[in-house]
Amino acid sequence: MRIEVEHGDELLVVESDEPITIREVLKQLEIPSSTVLAVFGDSIVPHTSEISEDIRLELVVVSSGG
């Protein structure tokens, strides 16, 4: 399956033959999971969500300050 990930101005792609979690996708893309929210449609989805079909996700960068 093909997982497309919009991250900033980039469109990144991960291919997987087996179901994969969003956390695993982020790890393959070397994006720290603590720095982004995954969005599908209008919903934020947990990084533990399993993907089992072609999908396009948007990553929203989380900012924190002190």
For 15-31, the pLDDT digits (tens) are 999 999 999 999 999 99
Measure the CA dihedral 29/33/34/35, to 10°. 40
Contacts of 39 (CB under 8 A, 6+ apart): 45, 57, 58, 59, 60
Per-domain residue ranges of the chain: 2-61
Per-residue CA distances from 38 to 20, 66 (Å): 14, 24
Q: Does domain 2-61 have CATH number 3.10.20.30?
A: yes
The band of 63, judged by pLDDT with boundaries at 50, 70 and 90, is confident
